[in-house]
A and B are shown apart, each in its own frame.
Chain A
Amino acid sequence: MSETDKTTCFEPWNEVGKKPLIEFRGVSKKFGALTAIDNVSFNIYEREFFALLGPSGCGKTTLMRMLGGFETPSQGQIFIDGKDISTIPANQRSVNMMFQSYALFPHLTVADNIAFGLKRSDMPKSEIAGRVDEMIKLVQLGNLGGRKPHQISGGQRQRVALARSLAKAPKLLLLDEPLGALDKKLRQETQFELVDIQEKLGTTFVIVTHDQEEAMTVSSRIGIMDQGKLIQIDTPDRIYEAPNSVRVADFIGDVNLIEGNATTTADDKVIISWAEGQPTLTAQTTTNITDGAKVTFAIRPEKIAMTTDKPTDASNAIEGHIHDIAYLGNVSIYKVRLSSGHMIKAQAANTRRLSRRNYTWEDKVWLSWTDTAGIVLTK
């Protein structure tokens, strides 16, 4: 891969013949009768920032702990650099982990915490102090090297944990809900710093999170997990714009789901009839849909336009009354009730002050969108 490729378009997963750094091959993990991971196979490539996203209890942490060496797969194999690591203990893997609780050693100073792994590596003693300074600079800990973990703030502790896990220059860094304990503002700042550090070092990062915004901000690809299965792996924009199932669409962001019956047309379009007395919906699709199949039409609230008069050129337009308005400052979410009883959410930017708003409760409005705005899902 040439240098220009990296900056313009980093998509190793699309390159034919590219060797993955990590390969899961049919991995399952059972705890007694409970299946935490169910036959998972996927690849992670070098320099990737890969996010495992899912609700709590979906198995994402177990998957990560298998990479770290704290759990062994019940079935299947995990390869790092083409080597099966399923049976290699945690202390012999070139993988380091940043723990959710940070797991700093309370009896050691910040500098000793960072040096802990180095002292157990083959790095000559004379170089350790230099490396520790380098790490302290990288995470901007300034002159806190001599403090004990309980003498610094939560945000600083998070940095120590990051520096400690990066000190040995691992091939792969695992981050378990790394920013979960920080408040919202600090978390957002730290997300960008994390991306900067990752790009600077070129280390492969795998992050586990339940916060979709965090996953979208930091990662090159997201793996959505549910009940032990990886249900979609894709780039953040594809996950958001082209979810492969209702579950993914519903888990990421806000979405309107309309169930109906599909009729296919010649030009890659689908006509969906979905309620008595409502006009049919037209949507473009690339997936093969059989005539008369049950489908779910998914459309994001911000892709729906709201007008007082019926738009003349829109391919989809439906009429309703405003049932509820949620004012969020920058945007408002309008819940529109249709005559069929359906409730559709539409989002509009608040470009004008609240007192000059166009719509209010019980107003009659038209909702419209183009035939490429939504997506037709079959599962």
Chain B
Amino acid sequence: MKRFTWFNAVSLTLGFAFLYIPMLILIIFSFNSSKLVTVWAGFSTKWYVSLFSNDAFIDAAWVTLKVGFISSCAATVLGTMIAYIMVRGGRFFGRSLFSSMIYAPLVMPEVITGLSLLLLFISIGLDRGVFTIILAHTTFSMCYVSVVVSSRLASFDVSIEEAALDLGCTPFDAFKSVTLPIIAPAVISGWLLAFTLSLDDLVIASFASGPSSTTLPIKIYSSVRLGVSPEINALSTIMIAIVTFGVLTTSIISKRAIKRQRLEEEQAFKNG
């Protein structure tokens, strides 16, 4: 926006209010000292204290973090591999079909993804638990990673890789010592995106989880059905903080990488 006008100010305020007022209310009420969710009775952090002494929540949080970490690592490896093949593999039979198939899970309703995974696990006799949630989260988040990484790879001068081969690298060495350092920002933001998605997910996790493995979103959802407790507010506030951190870091990393790349290009143009 170049100029301040009342129209711009109002639409900006309304837009952000629409997005953030619900969350703001939730954060405020997580510091409410009353047990009644809708009545303000003064500032307190007791719900945070009671949350951390609630073993069920702590267990669920631990499962969620474990699932998020392992699945986002696996998704990053697989997603990067897919992106590399799709961008660098040249033209091969069925390439455009494959590349659209990678994007399909992004628009697929989560219920369908969850249900199909559930059927798969049952049919191969895999007991549902932490492992199956990891598998399920890897499955859907690797698509996001591959989208992020392939857009970086596509804007990358192939002759840099050829130069590495020319100078005596094996293809794997060229990937490790040249390609990976250059695409690292995209790989890291892909990982953060996968991690955030895994933390958020309720639908797919509820299909893939078993009785012994409850993730935080599932736990929250099931306890809310028995009535909203201020503890949930506190927990949600913590989750908002984590997700905000993840999203901000991702965007800062990728924005910085883009800025640096543009700077390099500009300089190349000026000097060249």
Give A residues with C-beta under 8 Å from B. 68-70, 89-92, 95-97, 99-101, 103-107, 116-117, 120-121, 149-157, 164-165, 168, 181-182
Give the residues in chain A near B157, CB-CB below 8 Å.
Answer: 101, 103
User: B147-180 toward A: CB 8 Å interface, digit per residue (1/0)?
Assistant: 0000000000101101111111110010000100
Q: CA separation between A244 and B250, bound complex, in Å?
A: 62
B168 in contact with A105 (CB, 8 Å): no
- Judged by a CB distance under 8 angstroms, whether B263 is at the interface is yes
A90 in contact with B159 (CB, 8 Å): no
- Judged by a CB distance under 8 angstroms, whether B227 is at the interface is no
**Shortest Cβ distance from residue B65 to the other chain A in the assembled complex, whole angstroms:** 31
Q: CA separation between A179 and B168, bound complex, in Å?
A: 24
Of B105-113, B202-210, B264-272, the segment with at least 4 beta carbons within 8 Å of chain A is B264-272
Give the residues in chain A near B263, CB-CB below 8 Å.
Answer: 150
Closest B residue to A122 by beta carbon equals B168
Q: CA separation between A311 and B159, bound complex, in Å?
A: 59
- Judged by a CB distance under 8 angstroms, whether B125 is at the interface is no
* Choice from B162, B178, B264, B271 contacting A99 with Cβ under 8 Å: B162
Give the residues in chain A near B182, CB-CB below 8 Å.
Answer: 105-107
Q: CA separation between A117 and B177, bound complex, in Å?
A: 12
B167 in contact with A106 (CB, 8 Å): no
A91 in contact with B268 (CB, 8 Å): no
Closest A residue to B267 by beta carbon equals A150
Contact (A97, B163) CB under 8 Å given A106-B264, A120-B169, A150-B264: yes
Contact (A150, B268) CB under 8 Å given A91-B170, A97-B166, A120-B169: yes
Closest A residue to B260 by beta carbon equals A150
B162 in contact with A90 (CB, 8 Å): yes
Give the residues in chain B near A104, CB-CB below 8 Å.
Answer: 160, 163
**Shortest Cβ distance from residue A366 to the other chain B in the assembled complex, whole angstroms:** 48
Give the residues in chain A near B165, CB-CB below 8 Å.
Answer: 69-70, 89-91
A117 in contact with B167 (CB, 8 Å): yes
A91 in contact with B168 (CB, 8 Å): yes
B181 in contact with A103 (CB, 8 Å): no
B173 in contact with A99 (CB, 8 Å): no
11 further interface pairs, Cβ-Cβ under 8 Å (given A103-B162, A154-B271, A164-B163): A69-B165, A91-B166, A101-B157, A101-B159, A103-B157, A104-B160, A105-B178, A117-B168, A120-B169, A150-B263, A150-B264
A153 in contact with B166 (CB, 8 Å): no
B interface residue count range (under 10 / 10 to 19 / 20 to 34 / 35 or more)? 20 to 34
**Shortest Cβ distance from residue B64 to the other chain A in the assembled complex, whole angstroms:** 35
What are 5 contact pairs spanning A and B, CB under 8 A?
A90-B166, A101-B159, A107-B182, A117-B166, A152-B271
* Choice from A103, A168, A181 contacting B272 with Cβ under 8 Å: A181
Give the residues in chain B near A151, CB-CB below 8 Å.
Answer: 267
Most chain A Cβ neighbours within 10 Å, of B164, B168, B181, B267: B168
Give the residues in chain A near B163, CB-CB below 8 Å.
Answer: 97, 99, 103-105, 164
B164 in contact with A116 (CB, 8 Å): yes
**Shortest Cβ distance from residue B182 to the other chain A in the assembled complex, whole angstroms:** 6
B168 in contact with A154 (CB, 8 Å): no
Closest B residue to A152 by beta carbon equals B271
Closest B residue to A70 by beta carbon equals B162
Q: CA separation between A150 and B272, bound complex, in Å?
A: 11
**Shortest Cβ distance from residue A103 to the other chain B in the assembled complex, whole angstroms:** 4
B168 in contact with A168 (CB, 8 Å): yes
Closest A residue to B265 by beta carbon equals A150
Give the residues in chain A near B173, CB-CB below 8 Å.
Answer: 120
Q: CA separation between A106 and B260, bound complex, in Å?
A: 11
Give the residues in chain A near B166, CB-CB below 8 Å.
Answer: 68-69, 90-91, 95-97, 117, 165
A107 in contact with B181 (CB, 8 Å): yes
Most chain A Cβ neighbours within 10 Å, of B159, B165, B167, B268: B167
Q: CA separation between A241 and B225, bound complex, in Å?
A: 93
- List of 7 A-B pairs having minimum Cβ-Cβ separation, nearest first: A154-B272, A117-B167, A153-B271, A120-B168, A150-B264, A103-B163, A103-B159
Q: CA separation between A24 and B167, bound complex, in Å?
A: 23
B167 in contact with A164 (CB, 8 Å): yes
Closest A residue to B173 by beta carbon equals A120
Give the residues in chain A near B170, CB-CB below 8 Å.
Answer: 91
A99 in contact with B272 (CB, 8 Å): no
B267 in contact with A182 (CB, 8 Å): no
Give the residues in chain B near A101, CB-CB below 8 Å.
Answer: 157, 159
Q: CA separation between A68 and B161, bound complex, in Å?
A: 13
User: B197-226 toward A: CB 8 Å interface, digit per residue (1/0)?
Assistant: 000000000000000000000000000000
Q: CA separation between A91 and B165, bound complex, in Å?
A: 5
Give the residues in chain A near B168, CB-CB below 8 Å.
Answer: 91-92, 117, 120-121, 168
Q: CA separation between A105 and B161, bound complex, in Å?
A: 9
Segment 216-272 of B: residues with Cβ below 8 Å from A: 263-264, 267-268, 271-272
Give the residues in chain B near A99, CB-CB below 8 Å.
Answer: 159, 162-163
* Choice from B159, B167, B272 contacting A120 with Cβ under 8 Å: B167
Most chain A Cβ neighbours within 10 Å, of B162, B164, B166: B166
**Shortest Cβ distance from residue B43 to the other chain A in the assembled complex, whole angstroms:** 49
A100 in contact with B264 (CB, 8 Å): no
* Choice from B159, B167, B268 contacting A116 with Cβ under 8 Å: B167
Q: CA separation between A57 and B170, bound complex, in Å?
A: 30
Closest B residue to A158 by beta carbon equals B272
B167 in contact with A100 (CB, 8 Å): no
Give the residues in chain B near A182, CB-CB below 8 Å.
Answer: 272
Give the residues in chain B near A100, CB-CB below 8 Å.
Answer: 159
Give the residues in chain A near B167, CB-CB below 8 Å.
Answer: 91, 96, 116-117, 120, 164, 168
Q: CA separation between A103 and B169, bound complex, in Å?
A: 15
Q: CA separation between A104 and B268, bound complex, in Å?
A: 12
Give the residues in chain A near B267, CB-CB below 8 Å.
Answer: 150-151
Closest B residue to A90 by beta carbon equals B165
